[in-house]
Amino acid sequence: MSESGANHKFAFYLGCIAPNRYPGVESASIKAMKKLGVELVPLKGASCCPAPGAFGSIDLAVFYAMAARNLVLAEQMKMDIALVCNGCYKSIWEVNHKLKHNKDLRDAVNEVLKEVDMEYKGTINVYHTAELLYNDKFIGVEKVRDSVTNPLTGARIAVHYGCHLVKPHKDREFEKEVMLNTEHPMWMEELVSALGATPVEYRNKMQCCGAGGGVRGYDIVHALDITNEKLINLKEEKVDALTDICPFCQLQFDRGQIEIQEKFGVTYNLPVLHFAELLGLAQGMSPQDLGLDLHGISCEPFLQKVL
Amino acid sequence: MVEKKKATTKKTESKKEDTKKVAPVKQEVKKQAPAAVGSTAKQEARIGVFICHCGTNIAGSMDIDAVQDASKAVPNVAFVDNYKYMCSMPGQTVIQKAIREHKLTGVVVAACTPRLHEPTFRTATKDGGLNPFRFEMANIRDQNSWVHMHDRVGSTDKAIDAIKIAVAKAALLEDLHPKSVPVEKAAMVVGAGVAGMQAALDLAAAGIKTYLIEKDMSIGGRMSQLDKTFPTLDCSQCILTPKMVDVGRSEKIDLMTWSEVHEVEGYIGNFDVTIRKKARGVMTPKEAEAKGIVGGGCNGCGDCETACPVVKPNEFEIGMKPRKAIYVNHPQVVPLIYTIDFDSCVKCGICVTACGPEKRAIDLEMKDEFIKVKVGTVILATGYDIFPIENKLEWGYKRYENVISSLEFERLICASGPTGGHLVRPSDGETPKRVAFVLCAGSRDNTGTGKPYCSRFCCMYSLKHAHQIIEKIPGCVPYIFYMDIRSFGKMYEEFYYRIQDEGAKFIRGRVANIIEDKKTKNLHVMTDDTLLDRPVDVEVDMVVLAAAIQPAADTNRTRKLFGVSCSMDGWLLEAHPKLNPCGTTTAGVFLAGVCQGPKDIPDTVASAEGAASAASIPIHMGEVELEPYFATCIEEKCAGCGMCVNLCPYSALALVEKDGRIVMNVTEAKCKGCGTCGGFCPGGAIWMNHFTTPQIVAQIDAFLLGGEQ
């Protein structure tokens, strides 16, 4: 146990979209996780992860060096990294994994880091907060269930896993084996159940949100077309909300609905919440504390159902 | 020139020194060793070194001239030569000539591996007039030039070291004389699928008594579950049943179904096998007669099955049809003897009453029996299992009702199957009009969730499936999703064209995802059509997954029982992938059929006939030569502690009383020369032929001291 009374301490890597667009994800993560015995300490001086599609597909050397710099900051804090975004997970987890196992790459990256007096040593691990919540080594579904004071009873909630956390299968090494069920995972549904809500499966659950891999930046109409298909499938199941574990997916589903309305003339009004926000609600945090009023699509109908 | 001369002088000097130093050691050894071990008169060692280029395999990665020059300077070396292919006839002649001309006492060939060419060079050594065990090999290819292909200096140095080490041993090698042991005139075949049956039939035809062991209730294996066979489209059961009947009828074949190999001891020519005959709960007429019930025993009438109240899914029909606790799993079983599944049986005794007082075939208290047999050779034909295709979550097997496996398709399309040969959708019993076949379902899969290898017959049976639905269901369209169509066998490519002409739709693309329409239970098969370069979504009524195959569940147990290795993917390992595909590294144990790797029926039968032929050779020869590498006890040093007896993995050692004291004794035929006992013996009382302590010490010295002993 540390001084703060937490069982585990992590360097909290925020990424870009969470603090800029959905600050509630940040506050919900810190507060909700604290109740579960996990302290998230801000990773000061962190840069962009950098985004795997945008940077990784253009210059790998820059991609590795930037991700390595974020890793070194956490190494200096002597803490493992916890993060809230699938894109960040792909960059930071994968770069950490590659640097740990490839000496040539590590040497090349350290050559670059020398310019800022840094050295990557490979002393820490990287976790997604969803993984911390599900893995009972850190928290586990039971503890999550016990922390609920305001169960989301009656709410039909669909899960969007996103791509980068679970795929590609051969490059992932989760401790909990069911998390390796890349093609039809169900562990997030367990977490949704733990909050008292009803998890709902829908057609083509594992389809991409449409934004990732630089698609949104390159061809917005194509990206929205994919999002639209997912929204059609979700509407079919009459869900009250969609939950995700990636602010970029959240941006695409939430603000994307406004763009879809403009471009395709279809209205869904489906509330989209990061799982941290859902967890905060279930633990009794107010919608204002969670910054739900900053969402593009109003969460009101959903909130009326669960509060 | 000057340098060369120097080297020669040095060689002569060192040779002298060497002889001086080695000689006393050798003499001492002689005293310890029993008279039977090595009786060569002491003579100066004159070793010939022969360096092989192996084309460019070796010569391309090292400096042969440098290796040759350095070899000349190695103590005891009397002659050095090199040749492009040492294993060729001219190469072997070089060795034979040199033995005679230079009065060599030992031969070192620096080339590939003993696994490949030790027999070749031993023969050459023998033909040159030396005892064949005066030969030693230096591996400068597989363990050198191939792995250090881009390090010319390093591989040259390493080759020189390897030669020094081999020469050091060759100088101390002694004449050895292999012993022959008689071979039991009987064979055993494990597994009675088409491979095991064919092997047993061939052995029986060659006049060899054959024990055929099958863990299931009937022989026939996977092939008896199939409907038709490609490319001839003849009925699988129709061509298999005559063979099954022949097996059941053969006087030379002792068929043991519902039995497993329990324990194996011994060696080629003399395997002592214990077979566990699992309690079947039902007696054959023979067994009944032995118990004094004349005219009794099971006649296959099935009255017991009708009466039995316990209902279970029939595994033979992949659970699509019920069976009872007492049952035969399909109508054509051989032998036709009912079997009780004691895990499900409630022992109510209704079957006993149904069987009646005359037959009295059922014994609910039957226990497993252990039967011992002695055989000369063994053929393993243990087959395969279907890969658990539900592990590929994206295709929804066991999640979507209308996604079935190819083996389920075989049963559904088969007249004796659960639907009488009518292909129907499991969700609603309707006849499908659009059927998708997903090939490479778990095969050729490098994602870590499937198998990396090609299962070799899925392309062909899927083409056959397409043909069957076109033929049986008018207007039904098969969609075949494939990566490549591998139609490599005789008349296979022609069959592929035929199915194309019949109207099957081929879509080249690995299926990414299958999505079920919740209302209609139809399926959307999603893939990227790599010929049209666009994503496709094909709605079908039913999906058939051409599931990969994997080694049978108990392969690992089989492997340990018989001391056979397996390859990385778990299939049993052949002695050589090309030139000895039926043999294993354990003498007298052979492989037939799919247990060695995926094969279709023609290849399986061919492999079985190959294995039967190979397994019959030692039996027809009547005796086999054993490698003379056995351990020997130096009795005056042996304290009779017996530690070695417990260590021996082959049960070859025992303590015996000799001249009033306890000493260790070796059963030479059982000893494999592993050296475990020799390395451990606290008194140094065990002499390992061909791997003696002085020989091994000399090799280590040659490496550490660079040959200057």
Note down the domain range covering A291.
150-306
Quote the minimal CA–CA distance from A202 to chain B in Å. 10
Q: Residue A206: give its domain's CATH number.
A: 3.40.50.11810
Query: What value does the mean pLDDT take over residues B90-109?
Result: 97
For residue range B59-70, list pLDDT tens digits in order.
999 999 999 999
SS3 B136: strand
* B446:A169 CB<8 A: no
Quote the minimal CA–CA distance from B516 to chain A in Å. 8
Interface residue B43 vs chain A (CB under 8 A): no
Task: Say what the pLDDT of residue A169 is.
Answer: 87
Q: Got the DSSP string for B634-681?
A: -TTT-----HHHHH-TT--EEEEEETTEEEEEE-TTT-----HHHHH-
Task: Give the pLDDT band (50/70/90) at residue B504.
Answer: very high
How distant is the alpha carbon of residue A186 from its chain centre?
Answer: 16
- The chain B residue lying nearest A180, using CA atoms, is B449
Query: What value does the mean pLDDT take over residues A260-273?
Result: 97
A182 CB neighbours in chain B (<8 A) are 393, 449
Nearest to B590 by CA among B552, B560, B564: B564
In a domain, A285, yes or no: yes
In a domain, A3, yes or no: no
Out of A169, A181, A203, closest to residue B448 by CB: A169
Quote the minimal CA–CA distance from A287 to chain B in Å. 35
B396 CB neighbours in chain A (<8 A) are 184
- A161 and A275: one domain? yes
How distant is the alpha carbon of residue B632 from its chain centre?
Answer: 31
* B513:A203 CB<8 A: no
- The chain A residue lying nearest B399, using CA atoms, is A184
**Mean pLDDT score of chain B:** 92
Task: Give the pLDDT band (50/70/90) at residue A56.
Answer: confident
Which amino acid is residue B125, in one-letter code?
T
Looking at residue B171, the DSSP 8-state letter turns out to be T
- A158 and A299: one domain? yes
**Mean pLDDT score of chain A:** 94
Q: Residue A70: give its domain's CATH number.
A: 1.20.1050.140
- A295 and A159: one domain? yes
Out of A170, A181, A203, closest to residue B515 by CB: A203
d(CA B615, CA B592): 11
| Overall number of domains in chain A | 2
Which amino acid is residue B321, in one-letter code?
K
Task: Say what the pLDDT of residue B705 is.
Answer: 85
Torsion angle defined by CA atoms of residues B399, B402, B404 and B406, in that order, rounded to the nearest 10 degrees? -160
For residue range B249-269, list pLDDT tens digits in order.
999 999 999 999 999 988 899
Cβ contacts of A111 within 8 Å, gap of 6 or more? none
Quote the minimal CA–CA distance from A229 to chain B in Å. 14
Q: Got the DSSP string for B219-284?
A: S-GGGGG-SB-TTT--BHHHHHHHHHHHHHH-SSEEEE-SEEEEEEEEETTEEEEEEEE---SB--
**Per-residue pLDDT at B453 exceeds 70:** yes
Quote the minimal CA–CA distance from B683 to chain A in Å. 47
**Per-residue pLDDT at B2 exceeds 50:** no
Q: If residue B375 lies in a helix (H) or strand (E), which one and from where to where?
A: strand B369-375
* B513:A170 CB<8 A: no
Task: Say what the pLDDT of residue A7 is.
Answer: 80
For residue range A63-112, list pLDDT tens digits in order.
999 999 999 999 999 999 999 999 999 999 999 999 999 999 999 999 99
Interface residue B24 vs chain A (CB under 8 A): no
Radius of gyration of the CA atoms of chain A, in A: 19
Task: Say what the pLDDT of residue B27 is.
Answer: 38
Interface residue B448 vs chain A (CB under 8 A): yes
- A121 and A160: one domain? no
Out of A170, A181, A203, closest to residue B393 by CB: A181
Q: If residue B181 lies in a helix (H) or strand (E), which one and from where to where?
A: strand B179-182
* B515:A204 CB<8 A: yes
Out of B396, B399, B447, closest to residue A169 by CB: B447
Written as six digits, the tokens of B289 are 């007669």
- A291 and A157: one domain? yes
Residues of A engaging B, defined by a Cβ cutoff of 8 Å: 168-170, 181-184, 203-204, 206
B247: exposed, middle or buried (Cβ count in 10 Å: 0-12, 13-18, 19+): buried
- A163 and A243: one domain? yes
- A251 and A155: one domain? yes
B448 CB neighbours in chain A (<8 A) are 169-170
d(CA B376, CA B619): 6
- The chain A residue lying nearest B450, using CA atoms, is A170
B446 CB neighbours in chain A (<8 A) are 170
- The chain B residue lying nearest A237, using CA atoms, is B518
In a domain, A275, yes or no: yes
For residue range B174-214, list pLDDT tens digits in order.
999 998 989 999 999 999 999 999 999 999 999 999 999 99
What percent of chain A stands above pLDDT 70?
Answer: 98
* B447:A170 CB<8 A: yes
- pTM of this structure: 0.84
In a domain, A227, yes or no: yes
For residue range B115-167, list pLDDT tens digits in order.
889 999 999 999 999 999 999 999 999 999 999 999 999 999 999 999 999 99
- A31 and A72: one domain? yes
- A94 and A196: one domain? no
In a domain, A45, yes or no: yes
* B513:A204 CB<8 A: yes
Total beta-carbon pairs less than 8 A apart between chain A and chain B:
24
- A99 and A224: one domain? no
The residue that leads in pLDDT, B557 or B33, is: B557
For residue range B487-501, list pLDDT tens digits in order.
999 999 999 999 999
- Interface mutation vs chain A, best among B449, B514, B537, most A CBs within 10 Å: B449
* B447:A184 CB<8 A: no
Query: What value does the mean pLDDT take over residues A271-278?
Result: 97
A174 CB neighbours in chain B (<8 A) are none
In a domain, A191, yes or no: yes
Task: Say what the pLDDT of residue B602 is.
Answer: 97
- The chain A residue lying nearest B518, using CA atoms, is A203
* A170:B396 CB<8 A: no
Out of B393, B446, B448, closest to residue A183 by CB: B393
Task: Say what the pLDDT of residue B707 is.
Answer: 54
Interface residue B513 vs chain A (CB under 8 A): yes
B388 CB neighbours in chain A (<8 A) are none
Interface residue B147 vs chain A (CB under 8 A): no
In a domain, A176, yes or no: yes
In a domain, A141, yes or no: no
**Per-residue pLDDT at B461 exceeds 60:** yes
* A184:B394 CB<8 A: yes
* A168:B447 CB<8 A: yes
- The chain B residue lying nearest A168, using CA atoms, is B447
- A162 and A276: one domain? yes
B394: exposed, middle or buried (Cβ count in 10 Å: 0-12, 13-18, 19+): middle
Task: Give the pLDDT band (50/70/90) at residue B448.
Answer: confident
* B448:A203 CB<8 A: no
What's the ipTM? 0.84
Task: Give the pLDDT band (50/70/90) at residue A5.
Answer: low
- The chain B residue lying nearest A182, using CA atoms, is B393
- A154 and A302: one domain? yes
Report whether B152 contacts B62 (CB < 8 A): yes
Out of B393, B446, B447, closest to residue A184 by CB: B393
